[in-house]
Amino acid sequence: MSLAHILSYASRVGTFSISTLSAGSSNLCDLVSQISEIRAQFRSNGRKPADVVLFHGQQGPAAFVTFWACVLEGLVFAPVDTTWPDFRLRQLCERIKPDQIVAEPLSDQRWEGLRPGCPVEVVGPGRQRQGHPRIAEPVSVPPTAPAAYLCTSGSTGTPKIVVLSHGALAGSAQRVVDAFGWRSDETLLNLPEPHTISGLRNALIAAPLLGVRSVALPPRDRRTVLHIVDVVHEKAVTRLVAAPLVLRQINLMGRRISPTQLASLRAVYCTGADLHMAETQVFHAATGVPVINYYGLTESAGICLSQVVENWDPLDGSLGWTVGVEARLVDEAGNVLGSGGAGELQVRMVEPAPHYLDDPVATASLYAGDWLRTGDIMRRDSQGRHFLLGRTGLFINSVTTERISPQQIEAVLERHPIVCEAAVAGVADLHGGERIVAILVTGGEELSLDTKRELAALVSSRLGPTHVPTRFELTTALPRAATGKLLRRELVELVSND
C-alpha cells in the first residue's frame, strides 16, 4: 500500500480518532475535512510537489492534518523540535529552505521574524463534522519521492537532516503493524513528538493504518510523570510508547503510583535511548505489564529490531529479532560474523534507501554497498536475538587498551538507591588513554566520600576494576535530546571543561 492511500484505507476502517486533554476527540471525518482545507490553502499559496513545509507544533491533530495534507499534495513535511531556540531554528531554515511554515497558535508571529517572506499558516482545533469522510485524489508521486525531512538527535554531533521517501515511511509503518500487533479496538498513547521517527510513524501513519484510538499528550500537557499515569488510567490506554526515562520515573515513584492506575496497559514500548533490564524488571514486577524494547534509526526509517509481546521475558536484555529487514554483523575488518561474534549491525531494507540532505559524503559513509551502517555494536545469539554492546566511536579507551562501553557502567550505577540517572564519559589522560568520569543525578542527596566508595565497589563487583570511574560528579539534569537520548557529545564537553 502506498503512503498516500493509507488515509483512504483508514477512512474505510472508520475507527481512528485523536483525543486531547484540551480539545476533546476528533474523528476521521473531522480530520479529513481539516486536511482538505489545508490542501486548498497550500494550493492558494502556490505550493507544488517537492516544496518543503516546515511544521512547528507538538503531537496532536495539528501535526496529523498537516502531515497528511503534505503527503496528499506531494509536499515534504519537515517537523521541528519545538524546544529549539531561535538560533537553531534559523540555522535549520537556512539548510532546508522551507517554502511554507505551518505553526500552532501563538507561535506564528515568532516565525515572521525567523523566515521573512515565507507564508505562515496557523492550524488550531478543527470543527466537528458528521458524515463519511471524502478524500480528494492525491497528487501522483513515485515511492522514491521525499515525504519528510527529519533531523537526527545530534547525540554524537551536529544534527543531520534525513530525507525519508514515501516508500520508506509506508514500509516502516507496515513493520510496526507486523511487529506490535496493535488492534482497532485499542487505545494508543504515543509520547514521542512528530519531529522523531517514532512520533511521526507511530502516531501519524501506523495508528490510522490500524484504526486505533490515539491519545495525544504533548509536553505542554505532561508536567510530571504523574500526568502520564493519570491519562493512561482515564483514557484506558492499552499501548504506551515512551522513552526509557519515563519508565524509570514511574519506577522511582514507587507506591505513589498504584498498579490499578496502569491496569489497562497491555504493553509498553521503549526506544530512543538505552533501556536497562533492571528497570523493566522493576516495572513488570509492580504492574505485570511487559516492556517491549525496539530499535531503529532515523536513517533506517525506524524499526529494525523488536521484542515480541507473546514470548516476552523480563530476563531478556536483548533488542529482539529483525523486523522486515535483513541484518548482519560485521567486524572492523569487514568480515560478516555468525552467532556470538560482536560487530557493527548493518541492515538492508526493501524500501527506497534514506539519505542525508545535500550531503553526499555523509550519505556515502552511511552505506556499505546497499547495507546501511547503524554504527551500533551488537551480538546475536543462537536464537537470533540482538544484544546492544555500544556504539562505534563512543567506547572509552582505557590505558590498558581495553574498549569500555559507557552504557554498561551506567546500567550498574543506576542500581544504587540514590542514583536517579547516570551518564559516563571518557576524558583524555596523560598516559594516552581515557579516564572514566561518571555524572550522576540523585534525588537531592549529596555524593559523600562513603557514597563514592559504594559506587566504585558496585561497579567493580559487576564489571571489574578497569570499569570503575575515577571521578564522580553531581548534576541536576543530564543533557538529553527530546527523545530522551543522552547527548554524549555535550556530556564529554561538560566533563572536559571541569
* Per-residue pLDDT tens digits for 314-348: 999 999 999 999 999 998 888 999 888 889 999 99
pLDDT, position 427:
82
Assigned domain for 34 exists: yes
199 plus 280 within the same structural domain: yes
Asked if the structure places residue 302 within a domain, the reply is yes
Judged against a pLDDT cut of 80, whether residue 372 lies above it is answered with yes
Q: What's the confidence (pLDDT) of residue 466? A: 80
47: nearest Cα among 76, 18, 78: 76
Strands 336-337 and 326-330: antiparallel
- Point out the domain boundary residue: 380, 409, 433: 380
Same domain, residue pair 241 and 141: yes
Q: Dump pLDDT digits (tens) for 450-490.
A: 999 999 999 988 888 888 999 999 999 999 887 788 887 78
Both 313 and 406 in a single domain?
A: no
Evaluate if residue 146 carries a pLDDT over 90.
Answer: yes
**Amino acid, single-letter form, for residue 397:** N
In the chain, % of residues over pLDDT 90 = 66
**Domain-ending residue, one of 349, 380, 411:** 380
Beta bridge partner(s), residue 327 = 347
What global pTM score does this model have?
0.83
> 360 with 417, same domain?
no
Contact in structure between 267 and 282 (CB atoms under 8 Å)? no
Rounded to whole angstroms, how far apart are CA atoms 21 and 409?
40
Assess if residue 84 is contained within a domain: yes
pLDDT of res. 400: 42
Same domain, 425 and 373: no
| Residue 451 belongs to domain spanning | 394-496
- Structure confidence at residue 154 (pLDDT): 55
pLDDT exceeds cutoff 60 at 219: yes
Q: Answer with the one of 332, 356, 380 that is the final residue of a domain.
A: 380
Note the Cα 133 to chain centre separation in Å: 31
| Max avg pLDDT among 118-127, 192-201, 328-337 | 192-201
The domain total for the chain is 2
Rounded Cα distance, 298 and 199, in Å = 11
DSSP string, 7-19: HHHHHHH---EEE
Is residue 62 situated within a structural domain?
yes
- Mean pLDDT, the chain, whole residue set: 89
